[in-house]
Homo-oligomer: A and B are copies of this chain.
Amino acid sequence: MGMVGGGKDAFIGAIHRIAANMDGLIELSCGALSINPQIAMESGKMLFLEEDRIYTTYEEMIQKEKALTAQKRIDFVTIVTPNFAHFAPAMAALDAGFHIVIEKPMTFTLDEAKELKKKVDETGLMLCLTHTYSGYPMVKQARHMVQNGELGNIRKIIVEYPQGWLSKLSEREGNAQAAWRTDPKKSGKSGSMGDIGTHAAHLAEYISGLKIEKLCADLNIMVEGRALDDDGSVLLRFDNGAVGVLIASQIAAGEENALKIRIYGEKGGVEWAQMEPNTLIVKWLDQPTQLLRAGSNYTHVLSSFATQNCRTPGGHPEGYLEAFGNIYRNFALSLQARIEGKEPSKEAMDFPKVDEGIRGMAFIDAVVASNESDKKWTDFVV
């Protein structure tokens, strides 16, 4: 694996490294870790990279790695730069024959996303989009139960993602994370909706298997002086007639990372909260609520998608890093199978791909368009 972005002090780069490292399947071999050459070098050394594989631009990295022997060179590039700097290295990596892992939102614009998909289709290479939350085993269990019809026809989806960390104008107080995420030039046309609303939308579609068809968005800048939305609520209509609400806020003071989803069907509902991720609450119309737990011994109740994404028995909590690790592990297992000429398992192939990246970009476009419109409903167009 070679990494683009993620120099020291970058939050998400470090997370990617722990996640990729976790299961002993992936080795970080090279990187273009920063556009600042000195930071790139320092960061590379801190990570024990061989000095001649510490690059200062992604172009250099891709070119030099391509020139190495198949034995030695990396198999894939992971792109953990801010949103505006996803597309170019992704295209370059694919062009050079490398698979890619890429942070969400996948690109800066929907057009880029579509172009990227074309490239993926042309090259036949794999693209893995790190929608972390779909890596949690109990999210996969929920998806399985919906697919299986256990809840009956889905009627209502409530997905919410409150955070509080942008309650102040932190981007003016030296918070680097806040700075790029609230800057339209780096983040794109939406702030909170792009950053965390896309996670929420993905989770809703991933678990329910439904597609958003129409939406009605109210985006807000609640902290004076900010350039992008830091709060928003969206009414949703899905392609089966189900309705929903999506809330994404970064000014919900005192909240940490409280992503939560509830999906109700005719027979019951499921509830999953990221901050207590090992429990799936299953509510029934006329039976007691059940708590399904990751790693449990009642494997006849759990889907193979859930059980194969746990590392430990029930009661040994796995968390965000393990969920992230699952995305990498499934990608790596699929890649490994492919390299060995085998068919990857359906469980391994269950990681977010380019189509989900496109829907994420389309979601951003649709909420921004809806927010600017006086009409109640805006079509979700891909």
Where the two chains meet, the residues of A that have a C-beta atom closer than 8 Å to any C-beta of B are: 11, 14-15, 17-18, 21-24, 28, 47-48, 151-152, 155-156, 158, 160, 162-165, 167-168, 216, 218, 220, 222, 231, 233, 235, 243-245, 247, 249, 251-258, 262, 264-269, 274-278, 282-293, 295-298, 301, 311-322, 373-377
Contacting pair A164 B293 (CB below 8 A): no
Q: Which of B253, B275, B312 sits near A267, CB closer than 8 Å?
A: B253
Q: How many copies does the complex hold?
A: 4
Write out the residue numbers on chain B whose beta carbons fall within 8 Å of the beta carbon of A164: 264, 269, 283, 285
Q: Which residue of B lies closest to A47 (CB)?
A: B24
Write out the residue numbers on chain B whose beta carbons fall within 8 Å of the beta carbon of A18: 22-24, 311
Contacts A155-B251, A253-B285, A289-B291 known; list 14 others, CB within 8 Å.
Answer: A15-B311, A155-B253, A162-B262, A167-B266, A218-B243, A233-B235, A252-B269, A253-B269, A254-B264, A254-B285, A258-B315, A274-B315, A374-B375, A375-B375
Docked Cα-Cα span, A277 to B17, in Å, equals 23
Q: Which residue of B lies closest to A314 (CB)?
A: B256
Write out the residue numbers on chain B whose beta carbons fall within 8 Å of the beta carbon of A222: 155-156, 243
Q: Which residue of B lies closest to A27 (CB)?
A: B48
Q: Which residue of B lies closest to A276 (CB)?
A: B276
Write out the residue numbers on chain B whose beta carbons fall within 8 Å of the beta carbon of A235: 216, 218, 233, 235
Closest-CB distance, A282 to chain B (whole angstroms): 8
Contacting pair A285 B167 (CB below 8 A): yes
Contacting pair B321 A311 (CB below 8 A): yes
Docked Cα-Cα span, A231 to B156, in Å, equals 9
Write out the residue numbers on chain B whose beta carbons fall within 8 Å of the beta carbon of A315: 163, 255-258, 274-275
Contacting pair A312 B320 (CB below 8 A): yes
Write out the residue numbers on chain B whose beta carbons fall within 8 Å of the beta carbon of A268: 253-254
Docked Cα-Cα span, A136 to B220, in Å, equals 32
Write out the residue numbers on chain B whose beta carbons fall within 8 Å of the beta carbon of A255: 264, 269, 283, 315
Contacting pair B24 A17 (CB below 8 A): yes
